[in-house]
Structure 1
């Protein structure tokens, strides 16, 4: 397998400019396995042990300009496309999820301002974020959970503005934030309010204690209480009474990007497990020579690649297909973190007892990573919340005549190719996906294109049958929240993920080059999805063997475990791994 020589990204089809920012971030942050780098795995473990903020990692993030990618180019930042931001988040998460989640909390707070903020609100928040201030999204409450209609915080109209009272709990950056976007019940309905904590002063805002968590111990997960908090009429975001709708819309952006965090963590987990298996001697030979170990790594890698194709399509969808994201963002949020958790779990099996040690392999980083990544399926709505969203979207579409496909697949799956991404305020999110779903609607064409490969075509036809079954299920079930409806939603999500793999193979493999051209990754990826659907897939031992060899080559050449030919910072390696 040949690789391009440049430090950014290029394949046989030419440059891939949307990944250039991630390539620069990679070089700026250095190798996470190097204890002397600012955002090292070892530093993250030390902060985690103390349940403290990883200050050195944040300093490295600021110095690399990560915060600038949270602000749209239209507001003076570097956010020019969400595909590019996804790659930047993934690069950060390869090092420390506590940092990427902290930055994500700021993005969550700022996103409704980028979408609905006025000409005074947007520049103010841009100034704060570019000045390294943190934001918090005051959405969650202890009693309400994911039920936004149960929000207890109140915003009472008074002359010249509002008085807010209530408590927000389990919110990111709750103690360290300089600004917040707060959901509150008001008149005529729920509203979203922008609060500048520094300007408020006094006793109107009380910060709550950090909540102790199993994972992400360095992340500020806490909250705040508002008591008689008076704000002006200029604190209202968007149209009064549209708060619930705005929260649903902003989550289409942020829940899509959660998958990038889990992808970065899965890359590091695979790297730790692979290096351990190569250096660990068992029965007179490296552990990597054992068939069960190779199978675990190959299947974990295949799960990561399924997740990657799904995440790339969703992130690019925010740039070229925003009208579809009411559905696609929920699908990606359900699929990607879950697959990445499975991949990390497989790596834990490779490491065996060492997966749970707070020392030794990779400085004991794996046990932290395992705890941290387990939370990603919960952020921005749990898996059940995502399935409910998918169920509602598909049930609504089943009651209408199917809309024709409009988006060209070469555009949607043109990963790395620069496109004009509308600023959030220029193309606001839709509450429905419009009834057309090109990813699964055009699965028929993908099956036809595989006609010369009987084995892959047979796997794809099974996916096509499941797609048609789920459509019939939603037509029969209507809008009821039944077990069958949630199972149909789950199966749709898996078919969507497999379709993303097929479209990536058909539309982009030549441009990406390297691993993307190999048939083996697609064969194993489809089998992983078909098996999860409870259907027979059969093994492909040759594909597993090839994927393990590709893992070794990618690691030796300092490349991401990815279909995207991204060069990593020069990798630090233990010169004398322990063998026993």
Structure 2
């Protein structure tokens, strides 16, 4: 089904497609840009996108952005993922930038949003060793002191902290009330004294980090929004976070599908293309149908968010995140199976697509958490 895009949206998609083909369209190019998959973010490529004005696609014009909406942001994410552009820092950057845009001071907005448009990376730190899906259980403490706060504790799984200019930290500033009360957001420059960033080796390369805070002083000016209201501020950003992950995985799933389709069309066994055998043909048909459903869901939810930007679409955004991440994992696994031994070979790229999708059902709220949220919206 053709997409109902405006001329401007179509031009954006076409420009991204051409850029990705030119800059990272071959395995050799991607290997050079990512140190053979070990570095999922390439700052030089990212800077080229900044020069084209794409990194500020959804940011206000007064800070150098394009002032566009969720639809355009999702198109950018989907197409860069489809083009396999190594810009893993962008997702966390947009999530953090939205928090500063909604709750930050004017100085914070100029510093962070202006930097994003110029190609700087931002990070956000929520998870702790004992607080993952249950974010309200975090214990990293920011103790009020004269002129600011002193932070002590450990954070973990912080994506892109090692390449970020700032980290949006969520820490506990009060023990009073429920576990969702007393949380505060802080802007932490990456080089702040008392902060140690330590990389975690993963199958996806260098992307996530442990953060250790030891008597780390943050001035009052580092507070983002209202002290003690960090949980409510986090909830206000759920639409964005889930749609970012949905769009990224939709693009990745499309790429895995197209690569699989190209292979089964040309690979011959028993005297004919393997895609002509019913066992594979029907699986291709099922994946194509599911991809179309996922695309329609993402497009529809993104348009709804643009129509009502202040509304939290808890059910719909969770559905989009759940559908696209689970589908991406399924499609890449199917691609591995249909490519046979070649699916396992780094030369063909399917194994790297699989590595980038298996974690998508975990980060940003696991699939189990998304299902729980969806169920609650039905009164269950």
Aligned residue in 2 for 1:220: 207
Q: Which residue of 2 aligns with 1:312?
A: 299
How many Å apart are 1:271 and its aligned residue?
1.6
Give the Cα–Cα distance (whole angstroms) in 2 for the partners of residues 253 and 54 of structure 1.
21
Q: Secondary structure at the match of 2:162?
A: coil
Match of 2:370 among 374, 386, 396: 386
Q: Secondary structure at the residue paired with 1:388?
A: helix
8 Å Cα contact 1:136-1:172 kept in structure 2: yes
Quote the residue 2:72 is aligned against: 84
1:242 aligns with 2:242: no
Instruction: Give the conservation status (yes or no) of the 8 Å contact 2:239–2:312.
Output: no
- Cα deviation for residue 78 of structure 1 reads 2.1
Q: Which residue of 2 aligns with 1:375?
A: 359
Match of residue 194 from structure 1: 187
Alignment of 1:207 with 2:197, yes or no, is yes
Residue in 1 aligned with 2:29?
Answer: 43
Q: Which residue of 2 aligns with 1:179?
A: 166
- Deviation per CA, 1:202-231: give whole Å up to 9, x if none: x322111x21212x32x5211322222222
Q: 1:263 to 1:148 in 2, by over 3 A?
A: same
- Secondary structure of the corresponding residue to residue 29 of structure 1: helix
State how 1:49-448 maps to structure 2 within 5 Å.
Answer: 49=36, 51-55=38-42, 57-58=45-46, 60-69=48-57, 71-96=59-84, 98-99=86-87, 101-187=88-174, 189-198=182-191, 200=192, 203-208=193-198, 210-214=199-203, 216-217=204-205, 219-322=206-309, 323-359=311-347, 364-395=348-379
Cα 1:59–1:75 change in 2 (3 A) is: closer
**Alignment match of 1:26 (pick from 8, 17, 33):** 17
Please tell me whether the aligned partners of residues 109 and 181 of structure 1 are also in contact (alpha carbons under 8 angstroms). yes
Q: Report how far residue 293 of structure 1 moved.
A: 2.1
Q: Distance in 2 between matches of 1:71 and 1:116?
A: 14
- Deviation, 1:18, is 3.6
Q: Distance in 2 between matches of 1:45 and 1:150?
A: 40
**Structure with the larger strand share:** 2
Structure 1 residues 352 and 59: alpha-carbon distance in aligned structure 2, compared to 1, 3 A threshold = farther
In structure 2, the CA distance between the partners of 1:96 and 1:60, relative to structure 1 (3 Å rule), is farther
Tell me, yes or no, if the aligned pair for 1:262 and 1:337 is still in contact at 8 Å.
yes
Q: What per-residue deviation string (whole Å, max 9, x for no partner) do you get for residues 381-427 of structure 1?
A: 101111222233332xxxxxxxxxxxxxxxxxxxxxxxxxxxxxxxx
Q: Distance in 1 between matches of 2:355 and 2:190?
A: 32
Residues 304 and 394 from structure 1, CA distance in 2 versus in 1: closer, same or farther, beyond 3 angstroms?
Answer: same
Aligned-partner SS, 1:181: strand
Answer whether contact 2:24 2:85 (CA < 8 A) is retained.
no
Cα distance between partner residues in 2 of 1:110 and 1:71 = 8
Q: Are 1:10 and 1:16, in contact at CA under 8 Å, matched by a contact in 2? A: no
1:307 and 1:335 in contact (8 A); partners too: yes
The aligned residue for residue 552 of structure 1 is none
Name the SS for the 2:200 alignment partner: coil
Equivalent residue pairs, number = 371
Deviations 1:109-149 (A, max 9, x none): 22211111122221111122123221110111122112122
Partner of 2:12, secondary structure, is helix
Structure 2 CA distance, aligned partners of 1:60 and 1:39? 15
Counterpart contact for 2:46–2:119, Cα < 8 Å: no
TM-score scaled by length of structure 1: 0.60
Q: Specify whether residues 302 and 10 from structure 1 end up closer, same or farther in structure 2 by C-alpha distance, changes over 3 A only.
A: closer
Give, in angstroms, the shift of residue 70 of structure 1. 5.3
Structure 1's unaligned 5+ residue stretches are: 4-8, 32-36, 396-473, 475-580
TM superposition shift of 1:16: 4.6
Q: Distance in 1 between matches of 2:28 and 2:82?
A: 13
CA spacing shift, 1:376–1:98, aligned 2, 3 Å: farther
CA distance in 1, matches of 2:312, 2:168: 25
Deviations 1:334-381 (A, max 9, x none): 12211232233333332122211122xxxx211101111122222211
> Taking CA–CA contacts closer than 8 Å with sequence separation of 6 or more, which of the two structures ends up with the larger relative contact order?
1
